[in-house]
Amino acid sequence: MSATIKTADEIEKMRIAGRLAAEVLEIIEPHVVAGITTLELDRICHDHIVNVQKAIPAPLNYRGFPKSICTSVNQVVCHGIPTEKSLKKGDIVNIDITVIKDGYHGDTSKMFVVGQPSILANRLMDVTQKALWIGIEQVKPGCRLGDIGHAIQTFVEAHHYSVVREYCGHGIGREFHEDPQILHYGTPGTGLVLQPGMCFTIEPMVNAGKQQVKLKPDGWTVVTKDRSLSAQYEHTLLVTDDAYEVLTLRKEETHLIS
């Protein structure tokens, strides 16, 4: 398992792609309301990426994925395909955006709530977002991948939720999914040592119930086996000389940077 070190020129392109991906999550927010279909959300994001950003929605036709974004509602863990079904009050939905600009990828996702979430849903989303940020805060040269996974797993399990094992974060750059794999569980002091110039995602999937998942017959949609709710947040990161840069930071998150 290796990781490429990006050049200064590549890092600048990663910053641009990351900012565009984050911007899509910002512009879609007011549209995530009861009655809208996830297909309509896909269309709005697609049009913004293609017409405004002059970028490419990476999921479209990626290994046969049929749409431009992933929309994962309630018990869907990840890779939900946008459909004609409307969102209803109380739904929680992850929207996962990946754009390609000037040959480089930016990949990010967050949870949206339709109306008022249940207390459980609210707590699950909060724990998952905090788990992502606890992982992010480990990132600096010399840190090992096992340190990131361990920090996330420990935090999630302390809240009696479970970490999905089958899907993970990934190196990112010219390719959507590059080495290394970024597991959201692990053993401290093990795994690849981080170096400045590496770019990768952290994207924990957290289930309110058991960790097991199953793949739907469509070949994409991943759901919790026990039908419990699932949440996910994702950022694309750069390892800097002293710590990290969040390439997909949204304006609402500037207070989270340490």
- Does 39 bind ligand MF3 (CB under 6 A)? Our answer is no
CB of 95 to ligand MF3, least distance (A): 10
CA 53 – CA 13 distance, rounded (Å): 14
Nearest-approach distance from CB 168 to Co ion, in angstroms: 9
Per CB under 5 A, the segment of 141-149, 198-206, 217-225, 250-258 that binds Co ion is 198-206
Hey, which residues does 110 pair with through a beta bridge?
A: 95
Contacts for 142 with CB less than 8 Å, ≥ 6 apart:
193, 194
Distance CA 93, CA 112 (A): 5
Contact 194/40 with Cβ under 8 angstroms?
A: no
User: Residue 140 has which token pair?
Assistant: 């600096």
Q: Which does 59 bind (CB under 5 to 8 A by kind): ligand MF3, Co ion, none?
A: ligand MF3
Query: What is d(CA 128, CA 64) in angstroms, rounded to the nearest whole number?
Result: 29
Q: Contact region for Co ion (CB under 5 A) — 53-61, 124-132, 221-229, 233-241?
A: 233-241
In the beta sheet, which residues pair with residue 207?
Answer: 162, 230
Interface of this chain with ligand MF3, residues 100 to 139, rule: CB under 6 A: 107
Q: Which residues in the 52-111 window bind Co ion by CB under 5 A? A: 96, 107
Phi, psi of 112 (to 5 degrees): -120, 150
Q: How far is the CB of 129 from ligand MF3 (least distance, A)?
A: 15
Strands 56-57 and 70-73: unpaired
> Which of ligand MF3, Co ion, none does 79 bind, CB closer than 5 to 8 A by kind?
ligand MF3
Beta strands 169-171 and 76-78 are unpaired
Residue with Cβ nearer ligand MF3 (90 or 217): 217
Residue 70 binding ligand MF3, by CB under 6 A: yes
The verdict on 42 binding Co ion (CB under 5 A) reads no
Residues contributing to the site for ligand MF3 (CB under 6 A): 59, 62-63, 65, 70, 79, 96, 98, 107, 201, 203, 220, 234
